[in-house]
Amino acid sequence: MSFTLPALPYAFNALEPTIDAATMEIHSQKHQKAYVDNLNKALESAPEFADKDITSLLREIKTVPDAIRQAVINNGGGHANHSLFWEIMAPNAGGEPTGAVSEAINAAFGNFVKFKETVKQNALTQFGSGWSWLVYDPASTKVVALKKPNQDSPIMDGHVPLLGLDVWEHAYYLKYQNKRADYVDAWWSVVNWKKVDELYTAAKNG
Ligand code: MN
């Protein structure tokens, strides 16, 4: 068994003009592919871990051998993060959250505007590369906004990622150059809240 690059659930140009087709193609076919290839390469020396699904592998990261653990954090995290990223975006999406996740967001942040401000603040204050996240925390049964560097997956902390905003420069530089804030503001118009609500409901139900 080995990990494989997922097909995008829409065409490279489907998120135009928010995310340009060239960025989508390079991001999925080059960047995510490298994470998948390097994950498989790292696991050649520990084949028993290659049979796990990516969520189990990251949840049980402490059991991965020392010699390859950082490679699995970087590349397994990169694979998981991007697989989620494609799913929580869609053409003709955006707007406000719906369903149970909408209630959870309002309970945790007050309202949608304050929630977006928190996600943006986390995105803009992540120094260098990383992600701004909304996760479900099984311990508190609440949704939490946080930022993490590099490709570190919230799954490693026992969290269930619901919404992830990639703020690596490769995610936005072709269209937005150094203007990360403009990318963050535009990104809300492609968020697939239906998928986020599905993920929240599944997480809440264990
Ligand atoms: Mn990326």
The pLDDT, as a whole number, for residue 206 is 83
- Please answer whether residues 99 and 201 qualify as being in contact, where contact means their C-beta atoms are separated by less than 8 angstroms: yes
The residues whose Cβ lies within 5 A of ligand 1, an ion, are 166, 168, 171
Per-residue pLDDT of the chain (206 residues; tens, 9 = 90+): 699 999 999 999 999 999 999 999 999 999 999 999 999 999 999 999 999 999 999 999 999 999 999 999 999 999 999 999 999 999 999 999 999 999 999 999 999 999 999 999 999 999 999 999 999 999 999 999 999 999 999 999 999 999 999 999 999 999 999 999 999 999 999 999 999 999 999 999 98
- Ligand 1 centroid, distance to 26 Cα (angstroms): 10
Tell whether pTM > 0.75. yes
- Please answer whether residues 143 and 105 qualify as being in contact, where contact means their C-beta atoms are separated by less than 8 angstroms: yes
Q: Report the C-alpha gap between 104 and 173 in whole angstroms.
A: 32
- Ligand 1 centroid, distance to 73 Cα (angstroms): 14
- Ligand 1 centroid, distance to 169 Cα (angstroms): 8
- Ligand 1 centroid, distance to 27 Cα (angstroms): 6
- Please answer whether residues 26 and 175 qualify as being in contact, where contact means their C-beta atoms are separated by less than 8 angstroms: no
- Ligand 1 centroid, distance to 138 Cα (angstroms): 26
**Computed from CA positions of residues 70, 73, 78, 79, in that sequence, does the dihedral angle turn out positive or negative?**
positive
- Ligand 1 centroid, distance to 173 Cα (angstroms): 11
> Which domains does the chain possess?
20-206 (3.55.40.20)
- Ligand 1 centroid, distance to 70 Cα (angstroms): 18
Q: Report the C-alpha gap between 51 and 2 in whole angstroms.
A: 7
**Of 148, 107, 157, which is closest to residue 130 (Cα–Cα)?**
148
- Ligand 1 centroid, distance to 166 Cα (angstroms): 6
- Ligand 1 centroid, distance to 198 Cα (angstroms): 23
